[in-house]
Structure 1
Amino acid sequence: MRVYRKVIILGLAAASMTPANARPAIDGLTDSAGSITGSGIDSQAGSALVIPKAPGHLECVPYARTTSGIQIYGDAHTWWSQAKNRYATGHAPRVGAVMAVQPYNNSRLGHVATVSRIVDSRTILLSHANWSVPGKIERNVTALDVSPANDWSQVRIWYGPARGLGTTHWPVSGFIYNAKPGTVRDLGSTRLAAAAAPVKMAPLRPVKMAKSASARRSDPIGAIIAGAY
């Protein structure tokens, strides 16, 4: 009996000496079936970005570094200015790029989030941390472009407690790409707006038909369409 008691005491002592940072990550990227998990309208849509595992509780900045590979440090609102002459930047979302959200309302330090998928010209999926719940990681959540010019200068972002897109129009500085400056083409607000505009079709020109009967008989279908047969 004394031997068992000694073993238990030694086991408890060893457990108390184990460092806290030695515990495994508690928030992996996939569920038991191997599917990418997340919240949002498009949570089951999957992702084109392979997101490495990370601890379950993080600030947005270290998580954005982990998911994008962009090595910028400091508060989120400084990322856009720090990226100048270091990384390519632009106003079009791309998978793996970091969206830089400006300070607004109760967000005094700004926010950064990694684009994990492009759904359409107005919708992307984000993977980020410290947004809906302090320190919590959210993967593949929806962000909707609500800017009048479709230039991604204003977005609404999925907010977990509300189970839907938040009502705030968050101002966005742009997207930071993990590439050298000048190597990624920036569509810019003007080109994005033009791309989103309806395509204008050129007016149809009236078909000139020959006056002779032989000409009408040579192309009766065309003449019927033109109303000249």
Structure 2
Amino acid sequence: MKRFARLLPLLALVTVPTTASAASLLNYVGQCVPFARAASGIQLYGNAWTWWEQADGKYERAHKPRVGAVIVFAKTHRLPMGHVAVISRIVEKRVVMLTHANWSRQNGERGHAEQDVTLFDVSPRNDWSDVKVWYKDVDGLGGGVYPVYGFIYGAAHTAPELTSDHPDYVGALIDAYVPISGEPIAR
């Protein structure tokens, strides 16, 4: 027992605060996986790209966005661990908003949570297999196209901070459909 008592102060030093102990999910700084788990209630673990297969038989999976669903980005050279995010709003057939962590840099660092970010389906068949994501550093859709496995639907309740009280639907549509360069936004 004395040995355990001596270890207790050391354990306190290595304990990492979880999103559950944060004042708000939006104060989270860290990886996308724990954030998506806390925001969606979907209890999967491991690298983001593995969530699609892990969900098979445990959660409903499909290729249509739904509020509270986790979108699973494929593993690529640019995303070696994949990425997961939670759908916060449906804007229209090819434009949704998502809430996620560890995408854009904020104050020079990655890991921060972002709420109601534009996600645009740029897949040739409008099936959400390829997307573009709003990127804070350019204040618009980033230049990359990311392959997506699909959406995982959970049965649990989503976090209250998943979406804001006044999401910018017009801004999301402008991000998706009004090209800055004069070139159509697509692949």
Q: Does 1:139 align with 2:111?
A: no
Q: Does 1:95 align with 2:67?
A: yes
Aligned Cα RMSD in Å?
Answer: 2.3
Contact 2:26-2:114 within 8 A present in 1 as well: no
Could you list the runs of 5+ residues in structure 1 that have no partner in the other structure?
1-16, 29-52, 181-229
User: For the residues of structure 2 that align with 1:72 and 1:122, how far apart are their CA atoms?
Assistant: 27
TM-score (ref. length: structure 2): 0.68
User: For the residues of structure 2 that align with 1:82 and 1:57, how far apart are their CA atoms?
Assistant: 25
Q: Which residue of 1 is the match for residue 133 of structure 2?
A: 157
Q: Which runs of 4+ in 1 moved over 4 A?
A: 19-22
Q: Which residue of 1 is the match for residue 85 of structure 2?
A: 113
Q: Which residue of 1 is the match for residue 149 of structure 2?
A: 173
Pick the structure with more strand per residue: 2
1:126 to 77, 91, 98: 98
The residue identity in structure 1 corresponding to 2:22 is A
Q: Identity percentage over the alignment? A: 48
Q: 1:21 to 1:156 in 2, by over 3 A?
A: closer
Q: CA deviation at 1:56?
A: 2.7
Could you list the runs of 5+ residues in structure 2 that have no partner in the other structure?
1-12, 157-187
2:38 to 66, 69, 78: 66
TM-score (ref. length: structure 1): 0.56
Q: Which has the larger radius of gyration?
A: 1
Contact 2:95-2:119 within 8 A present in 1 as well: yes
Higher RCO (Cα < 8 Å, 6 or more apart): 2
Q: 1:119 to 1:88 in 2, by over 3 A?
A: same
User: For the residues of structure 1 that align with 2:16 and 2:69, how far apart are their CA atoms?
Assistant: 32
Contact 1:125-1:142 within 8 A present in 2 as well: yes
How many residues are matched? Answer: 137
1:25 to 9, 22, 35: 22
Q: Secondary structure of 2:28's match?
A: coil
